[in-house]
Amino acid sequence: MDSQPLSTSPRVDVDGSRPRFVEPPGTLATQCGQLDTTALLHIVELLLACQQSRAEPFALNPIDGKAYPHHPVLLRVPLGSYPSEPGVLTELNGLKVPAHFDCESRCNVSQWNPKKNGPMSCPFGNYRYYLELPSRWHACHMHEAFLRSKFTHVQPQLPLIDEEYFELVAVYQSVLRACGSFHAMELGARWGTWGFRSVALLRLLNPMPYQLFLVESHRVHCAGIHMVAKLNGMDATLKCAPADADLFLSIMSRLPHLDLLHIDIQREELQLLSDSRVRAVLNKKVYRIILGTHGEDVDLFAQDPVSKPSQRGPSKRGAGAFFDSKVTQEFLKVNKLKVLLRSHEKRSDGFSVEHQNGKGHMIAATVFSASNYPRGAGEPMGNKAAVVVMEPKDAGSLASSLVSWPAWRVGFTDGMNTNTKVSEEMKNKFQEAQAALTLGPRARALAKLRELTYCARPMLLGYWQAIDTEASGVLAKEHWARGMRACVIADDDFPWEWLEPYMLKTYVDEFNYAVFLGQYGNSLARKLASRFYGGSMMSILPGVKTKADIEAAWNTVDRNGDGRLSYQELRPILRAGVFNDETDKSTMEDHIYSLLCIMDRDKTGFVDREEFVGSIMRFLHGESLVETSFSMESFEGAGPATQSRKSGHTLLEEEMNHWTDEEISQCLASTQGVIRALSTTTGCASAVFQVLDEDSDGAIDRDEFRKGLRQLLAGLPIMRNMSKWEPLLWKLVDEDGSGLVSPHEMNLAFSVRETLSI
């Protein structure tokens, strides 16, 4: 099976049909396929309630019987429904696997396929995945329950916590971080478990050309790989031979990079990784390695220390074992080591001595460097974090110099690039204020959809560009709903297809995704754009002064030489040259997206050489980069006093010359942060005024404004420097300089508007 790129079209349903949705109460569709306004509003409010209720589902750990929050990567996985098939186990993302591969129970295949009666010989070896891994036997019995209930469809669930949980997380992380093309290799593939799982997610959430290489020495397992590939319409290059250094290097010689390398070759891992040629390739080309833990040399991290010999036995982790000081001393003696230093197990003080020898010297210790783990648990008195320090000395070993640094605690949100989370109290206030407004259900529903789409513009552009392999800027309309489902609302039950007439009614069979995204804008962000984005480009093009300089710089920026810049190409350039490690991720993505849109004058979603040179030249000549992109006067409901706003805009441009790029950037980030906060509530921008106007005098003063920002942007890093950017934001919102903000000024500042009325 030679590897060939698959079609990059993601599928929502494995049978290729349109998704089936549960109809909310009321009439959802008319004969022309549109929604009535009451149903449209109901859909949006139902969505928000669903998002909040599913914001943080939990996973069961069958070892200790407790439930823990799912890893954020797994929360990206859509839980779809798929046709039920006897003898076929359907996993997450619609991956189909012959059920007896993992569901052997005394090799009784009839339990999993009613069409086959009686016991049969074990077709897939003597390792009982069904008995050893809780997540697999749980999936097997869920499959059995669906079959016995005679359901026509099954719905795979997120996994239980066992030894494969974080293995799956790591695989999915590689898929979601892939850019341009995805390359994966599985050494010791069995039926291609991790390789095919990665491709299943890739096709659904991050579609792009891929190559999958599977190496497996057992013939029966090679046959299984062929079966899984055929069932799912996937391509892979299979080498039915033992995995060794020569074979690995031969495959790698044909690849530019490897996003994922999974190694599980039954105690031969150390021999492979000891080869200097292999290590050189790993360092140069491989982005992520997942290492199987069958050999004692690589299995130590799954073991846990105990103080008494009577406590030795199977580990509570579900894999590995407990070991005491006697085992530690034997291990150190055999391997000629002084101290065993371990991590990845929480300790209340961040560091603990686990074992000592007969002389009282430390021989095993644990260091844990994440305080208040997990996710701020136990704050402010949760576990401490610690590090250890070792330094070479003239006399004695490195191990003898090991000391534990004083432990500390840091708040979960301190220093992190987190998105703001609006408190429940604030959400309730928005809901009450929204109910008091006279805004009709159609306007409320569409305003909420505008906010959600506006906040997801960077993700949507990246998604659609990955599918648009011809870089035409135009896609079939079916990709619109798929993109909205993947990036805006990851819920199979949300009827994006029914909303197409409202959001894409000007298109027939295809749509220009850059034009669609360009419809949504915010007037306050626009006022800040010209100054910040011009400076952003100049920071990555130092010394550029003439057109010839810009044309020469183009060759450096256009790294793949295709004559255009995509969102994916612009992102790493600006991340390296403009933003720092403390920049909020959402802020950074918003800035990069907006810069590309400002330069993309023909609205293809890409910036060509002429657009790039022209944009930089206009900035060098002191012209606005935004003026020619769109006019806010064309936005619906822009309001009165157009001429005064123009003159006010000129005055504000002069005012902004007194502010630094960093302060303007933070002011822009605060604006986007408010809009993102609103998108998580049932309220629209009009409700902001009602909530912040605490004394109900019909105007918002400076103190009310500051208090509202602290509530809406709680948790964002920019709040540490609020005193630096808030004065500029206040001047921008208070357009008439009265010292008070009116309802119209507040609505204009934080509402998302569109250039075409729906």
pLDDT at residue 433 in the model: 67
Report yes or no on 151 lying in a domain.
yes
Q: Based on the domain organization, do 673 and 620 belong to the same domain?
A: no
CB 63 within 8 A of CB 316: yes
Report yes or no on 221 lying in a domain.
no
Of the candidates 612, 628, 644, which is a domain's last residue? 628
Structure confidence by residue, pLDDT tens digits, 568-621: 677 777 666 566 555 666 777 777 777 777 787 777 778 888 888 887 887 777
Amino acid at 619: F
Q: Based on the domain organization, do 616 and 675 belong to the same domain?
A: no
Sign of CA dihedral 185, 191, 193, 196: positive
β pairing state of 607-608 and 564-565: antiparallel
∠ CA 22-26-29, rounded to 5°: 75
Query: What proportion of the chain, given as a percentage, has pLDDT over 90?
Result: 15
pLDDT band, very low/low/confident/very high, at 724 (cuts 50, 70, 90): confident
Work out the average pLDDT over 445-471. 83
pLDDT at residue 231 in the model: 94
Around 672, how many Cα atoms within 13 Å sit in the side-chain half-sphere? 32
pLDDT at residue 354 in the model: 92
Report yes or no on 261 lying in a domain.
no
Q: Based on the domain organization, do 614 and 736 belong to the same domain?
A: no
How far is CA 105 from each of CA 111, 123, 210, 244, rounded to the nearest angstrom?
Answer: 8, 12, 35, 33
Of the candidates 135, 155, 175, which is a domain's last residue? 155
Inform me whether the pLDDT recorded for 88 exceeds 80.
yes
Q: Based on the domain organization, do 667 and 581 belong to the same domain?
A: no
What gap in Å lies between CA 407 and CA 369, rounded to an integer?
Answer: 9
Inform me whether the pLDDT recorded for 66 exceeds 90.
no
How far is CA 660 from each of CA 26, 522, 553, 743, rounded to the nearest angstrom?
Answer: 53, 22, 25, 29
CB 664 within 8 A of CB 656: yes
pLDDT at residue 14 in the model: 29
What gap in Å lies between CA 232 and CA 263, rounded to an integer?
Answer: 23
pLDDT at residue 523 in the model: 79
Report yes or no on 740 lying in a domain.
yes
- Report the 3 state secondary structure along 265-316: CCCCHHHHHCCHHHHHHHHHHECCEEECCCCCCCCHHHCEECCCHHHCEECC
Structure confidence by residue, pLDDT tens digits, 364-404: 999 998 887 865 666 667 888 888 888 776 656 777 778 88
Q: Based on the domain organization, do 665 and 615 belong to the same domain?
A: no
What gap in Å lies between CA 314 and CA 322, rounded to an integer?
Answer: 6
Q: Based on the domain organization, do 518 and 446 belong to the same domain?
A: yes
β pairing state of 66-69 and 58-61: antiparallel
Report yes or no on 323 lying in a domain.
yes
In 308-339, which positions are buried (b, 16+ CB within 10 angstroms) versus exposed (e)?
eeeeeeeeebbbbebbbbebbbebbeeeeeeb
CB 753 within 8 A of CB 521: yes
β pairing state of 182-187 and 210-215: parallel
Report yes or no on 217 lying in a domain.
no
Report yes or no on 126 lying in a domain.
yes
Choice among 21-35, 124-138, 404-418, 548-562 with the minimum mean pLDDT? 21-35
Which tokens sit at 620? 């060098």
Q: Based on the domain organization, do 453 and 582 belong to the same domain?
A: yes
Q: Based on the domain organization, do 693 and 592 belong to the same domain?
A: no
DSSP H helices, 126-164, are: 129-132, 134-148
pTM across the whole model: 0.46
Inform me whether the pLDDT recorded for 53 exceeds 80.
no
Output the domain CATH number for residue 704.
1.10.238.10
Inform me whether the pLDDT recorded for 114 exceeds 80.
no
Query: Of 347, 349, 342, whose CA–CA distance to 328 is shortest?
Result: 342
Report the largest interatomic distance among the alpha carbons of the chain, rounded to a whole angstrom: 87
pLDDT band, very low/low/confident/very high, at 35 (cuts 50, 70, 90): very low
Structure confidence by residue, pLDDT tens digits, 526-540: 777 666 666 666 666
pLDDT at residue 632 in the model: 37
Query: Of 279, 675, 292, 149, whose CA–CA distance to 452 is shortest?
Result: 675
Q: Based on the domain organization, do 591 and 544 belong to the same domain?
A: yes
Q: Based on the domain organization, do 464 and 585 belong to the same domain?
A: yes
Average pLDDT taken over every residue of the chain: 74
Long-range contacts of residues 643-647, Cβ cutoff 8 Å, at least 24 apart: 644/736, 645/735
β pairing state of 260-263 and 182-187: parallel
∠ CA 271-276-281, rounded to 5°: 105
Inform me whether the pLDDT recorded for 325 exceeds 80.
yes
Query: Of 257, 256, 279, whose CA–CA distance to 269 is shortest?
Result: 279
pLDDT band, very low/low/confident/very high, at 7 (cuts 50, 70, 90): very low
pLDDT band, very low/low/confident/very high, at 75 (cuts 50, 70, 90): confident
Query: What proportion of the chain, given as a percentage, has pLDDT over 70?
Result: 69
Inform me whether the pLDDT recorded for 17 exceeds 90.
no
Q: Based on the domain organization, do 481 and 590 belong to the same domain?
A: yes
DSSP H helices, 117-218, are: 129-132, 134-148, 165-177, 193-205
Structure confidence by residue, pLDDT tens digits, 152-178: 899 898 999 888 898 999 999 999 888
Report yes or no on 614 lying in a domain.
yes
Task: Give the number of domains in the chain.
Answer: 4
Domain interval for residue 44 = 37-112+121-155
